[in-house]
Structure 1
Amino acid sequence: MSIGNSPESDRPSVGAALQKARIGAGLTVEEVSTTTRVRIPIVHAIEQDDFSRCGGDVYARGHIRVLARAVSLDPRPLIDQFDAEHGGRPAPTPAAPLFEAERIRSEPRRPNWTAAMVAAIVAVVGFVGFTLFTGGGKSGGGPVAAGDANAKPAPAPTRHPSTIKPPLKPEPSDSAVAGLPKDKVTIKVTARDGQSWISAKDANGKLLEDGLLKKGESKTITDKERIDLVLGNAGAVQLYVNGKEVKRVGNKGTVERLSYTRGDPQAG
């Protein structure tokens, strides 16, 4: 079904078009909610052209897209109609200034504790050697021979700094992975670059997490077998699975559906 060629006066609203297509496909709101994982109250609100429960225009576009596909509609005309009725699609924010700022910002220098420790050890060893040498000469009690009056004392043995090695420390990423339970799947979601709507279910369909994640907030979710994850505005999300970062989650404004088990990610 398509509404792209309808005259403006006869074109139904976005919500009415979705509702009509759902009824024509013989689907209930509950069935559409199960298929798309969009909550039932939000589906009802969208069909009444109430997008206030979506959490913003970005999420509203994502909901319209998945609902349209679930009822066999082309989502592009509906999203264009939504943008026309809500002030148009916002222009993307250029990322170059941010990257420039990150590139030219100098990283603060950290104190070189290893070099300081090596210098302190060398100083202590030298002081102890000198003390032992001078103390041994005084304890003899006898006169110094004339032939030895101009003799120079032998330098005290010291360890070269290159032979002193600091204790090895494990990599932070290895420590983080080792600290996670091996018999569970663990997911950490952080809204790094903007807010995101998240929903997580276990292998049996039980809801583990559902709601809006504001910018800067994080959620950690665990399960024994599997976690099925839905992310709104996926490009703004930082995702760790079993202690390893998933480098590419999705684009900003898109809805992504992901599933992870204890052995994931295979490559990330």
Structure 2
Amino acid sequence: MKSWMWIGVIASMGLIAEAGTLARFRTPLGDVDVELLDEDKPVTVRNFLTYVQEGRYRDSFFHRWVPNFVVQGGGFMVRHRGTTNSVFDFVPTLPPIVNEYSAGRTYSNTYGTLAMARVGGQTNSASSQWFFNLKHNVELDGVDGGFTVFGRVIRGTNVLNLFVAAPPANNVFRVNLGSPLNELPVTSARPTIGDLVFFDVTLLQVAVERGSDGGASISWNAESNLVHLVEYTRQFPPVWTSLIRTNGNGGRMTAKDPASDPQRFYRVRSEP
């Protein structure tokens, strides 16, 4: 399976042109790549990244699915996953954060956006839980100060679309285990714990820096055992030209483009 993420270079010498942090949600149904809105929603993004980097989402799963509305995660995990002692448990939470709906640029709860979930009626109550909008849920913009959008899907809407139709369409099912797991998505009509829609979040963090000589430095978090290709274009619709092809090392990698061309836009692709 091929995937890609792209980023543009600002035509200002010496400045860093950086897209938001890129988070990849790996699920049994496919991957979803999300650009986080670091600049406009810094508290919310920092909170999410803390959960990821501290491993608080380990063995978590999507726990709420309302077809053609939202699919939600970040609240529950499986302790002792893969053993006969597997049990549901809460994601260990940090203190709630301030609502940033109106901070920076305002983003509506439209299809393909990622937003923070909250306790009903409590504006500043978001902690670990979030949801993907499966349609234009603009009515959420006016509820208790608005639900804060802090990311947008840039690849993987085909995965989101599996949750649009009511079950059992697309071989995604829903079971009722009692509140709060009464709208639980699973991948089998007779599910076990292994049929939960688990997710794992990887941070890609692609950035481009243009130096004083006009050249560009493209850096990203590489994935092990995958080939990474850095490409550029000067036109849209894009026609991509290869800059470098390299094997991912599981760490931070950098590619250099000596060309002094501020009109170049870059992307990094990964493939097996």
Q: TM-score scaled to structure 2, two decimals? A: 0.20
Compare relative contact order (CA 8 Å, sep 6+) and give the higher one, 1 or 2. Answer: 2
Greater fraction of residues in helix: 1
Greater fraction of residues in strand: 2
Larger gyration radius, structure 1 or structure 2: 1
